[in-house]
Structure 1
Amino acid sequence: MKKTLLALAMAGVVTGCSTPPEAPEDPKLESTEQKVSYGMGLVLGERMSNDLPDLQMEQFLQGIQHGHAGDEETKRLTREEIQEALMAYQQQMQEDQKKQMDELAQKNKEAGEAFLAENAEKDGVETTESGLQYEVIEEGTGDKPSAEDTVRVHYTGELLSGEVFDSSRERGEPVTFALNQVIPGWTEGLQLMNEGARYKLYIPSDLAYGPGGNRGIGPNETLVFDVELLAVNPQDDAASE
């Protein structure tokens, strides 16, 4: 009897596996209403894939059906319960993002420290008391700026990976700014240079953008700048001309 039941069960499994269920046919897209309905669903789905990457599709589709039906009896959550769930989800996402940022910040800091320790041993690289490193590519003969001066520069900024995140050279136009309004590594590094000089600055994260990062720059990134000091207080030059 047991063997017979087992045989029947196995036969059922084999039969079930050998005849997979037919895939449902795609709904028609012939009328304007059908196309609009599909289009709205497509747009909403694309948005949801960005806003809610772990979307539970079965629950999502049921929510759409119940909401479209407008029958209060079929709705499984109140507005208050939905709001509570949204707030809990947002809080969890913020905690996850913070954890990821903290891990990335620690990784970047360790990579930067290792790079700077090795870089400090290279010929031609000098390290200041703050930890800023610089390398002279070409010396200048003009004035040195103070922290209160305005400077005009050409520069290329890179991450340790070699990725260029910003470059006045690529834009084809130098930049003018007050030296006390930029990151500390720039404020210190430019004061080491004479007008006409070109230096390579290796800037530790605490002299750059720190754990907050910046556009295109991750948390605690060590930065490398190739900087050419074109002019000190260029507005004075324009006035004299």
Structure 2
Amino acid sequence: MKSLIKMTLVSGAIVLALSGCDDKKTSESNTETTESKVTLSTDAQKEAYALGSSFATYMKSNLEQNEIKPDQEYLISGFNETFRDASQLSKDDVKTILDAFGKRIQEESKARFEKEKADNTAAGNKFREEFAKQDGVKKTKSGLLYQIIKEGSESHPTAEDTVIVHYTGTLTDGRKFDSSYDRGEPATFPLNGVIKGWTEGIQLIGVGGKIKLVVPPELAYGDQSFPGQNDKASIQPASTLVFEVELLGIDNGNAKDQNSQETNSQKAK
């Protein structure tokens, strides 16, 4: 939160200073409503507008990430009035208010984190307990649960191999957070460069095989969180993740594996 406030103040100062390079607006233009649009004619106007747009995008993204919803009217008024050297607050006032604001946001963020972690831990424990009762489910020493849907060939990858896969990743409630199928192409990556649950689990099947992995948080992203993209669900702290993965090939230059990759890739389309 401190970095947000600091960058907001610094970025705002830069934008306001550089905006001075634009043609001066009359005092009447300052009374225009936020719905009115300016005309972008000169390079200086476009540059100033782009700086303002960049600042707004950065600020909006950070506010949303911290679940902060300020009154837009007052936010814009604070910006405009300060730019005209007509701020209703002194610099000391601004600092005092933002320090208190940052502290409150940090406390709210910490409370939200602890609740999400507790809820996800409970949900993950329950899901893994129920999944373990299904036919064919096995558990490794690390705590990884897996169910082999299709064994595949005798050609198994090692942790040092690069694999080609199709997969879908969901949360324990079934919401999808990632899918190579949705992107329309397989994913290729070094097996030792992904989460521990994948590194261990994908080695359990051969090329052409398919496996379901239920990955506890300690073998996934732990207490980290990641926002959802393109209408996908977000990954919250202590999330148990569920994957269905097809191993299409092993990208190690071996002709046999490459042929298997091409055959399985065609089947996947």
Shift of 1:221: 1.0
For residues 232 and 143 of structure 1, what CA distance do their matches in structure 2 show? 9
Paired residues for 1:122-161 under 5 Å: 122-161=134-173
For residues 184 and 66 of structure 1, what CA distance do their matches in structure 2 show? 53
Q: Is 1:38 matched up with 2:33? A: yes
For residues 105 and 166 of structure 2, what CA distance do their matches in structure 1 show? 40
Mark the CA change 1:71 to 1:227 in structure 2 (over 3 Å): closer, same or farther.
closer
Is the Cα contact below 8 Å between 2:249 and 2:257 reproduced in 1? no
Instruction: Please list every run of 5 or more consecutive structure 1 residues that lacks an aligned counterpart in the other structure.
Output: 1-32
Which of 205, 215, 219 does residue 193 from structure 1 map onto?
205
SS where residue 38 of structure 1 aligns? coil
Shift of 1:64: 8.5
The corresponding residue for 1:80 is 92
Shift of 1:124: 1.3
Paired residues for 1:47-196 under 5 Å: 53=69, 55=71, 75=88, 77-196=89-208
Mark the CA change 1:71 to 1:145 in structure 2 (over 3 Å): closer, same or farther.
closer
Report which of the two structures shows the higher radius of gyration computed on alpha carbons.
Answer: 1
SS where residue 39 of structure 1 aligns? coil
Deviations 1:28-71 (A, max 9, x none): xxxxx5896212699x9xx7x968536598x8899799869967
CA RMSD of superposed structures (Å): 3.5
**The 10-residue stretch of structure 1 (183-192 or 118-127) with the greater mean CA deviation from structure 2:** 118-127
For residues 63 and 169 of structure 1, what CA distance do their matches in structure 2 show? 46
Aligned pair count?
Answer: 202
Is the Cα contact below 8 Å between 1:142 and 1:196 reproduced in 2? no
How many percent of aligned residue pairs carry the same amino acid? 39
Is the Cα contact below 8 Å between 2:169 and 2:178 reproduced in 1? yes
Query: Aligned letter for 1:188?
Result: E
Instruction: Please list every run of 5 or more consecutive structure 2 residues that lacks an aligned counterpart in the other structure.
Output: 1-27, 38-55, 228-233, 260-269
The corresponding residue for 2:247 is 229
Task: Give the TM-score, by structure 2 length.
Answer: 0.64
The corresponding residue for 2:235 is 217
SS where residue 224 of structure 1 aligns? strand
Is the Cα contact below 8 Å between 2:169 and 2:242 reproduced in 1? yes
The corresponding residue for 2:47 is none
Is the Cα contact below 8 Å between 1:155 and 1:167 reproduced in 2? yes
Mark the CA change 1:221 to 1:71 in structure 2 (over 3 Å): closer, same or farther.
closer
Task: Give the TM-score, by structure 1 length.
Answer: 0.71
For residues 195 and 61 of structure 1, what CA distance do their matches in structure 2 show? 57
Deviations 1:99-142 (A, max 9, x none): 10121011101110111011111111111111111111111113
Is the Cα contact below 8 Å between 1:153 and 1:176 reproduced in 2? yes
SS where residue 33 of structure 2 aligns? helix
Mark the CA change 1:125 to 1:66 in structure 2 (over 3 Å): closer, same or farther.
closer
Is the Cα contact below 8 Å between 2:155 and 2:257 reproduced in 1? no
Shift of 1:94: 1.8
For residues 249 and 86 of structure 2, what CA distance do their matches in structure 1 show? 72
Mark the CA change 1:155 to 1:172 in structure 2 (over 3 Å): closer, same or farther.
same
Is the Cα contact below 8 Å between 2:249 and 2:258 reproduced in 1? no
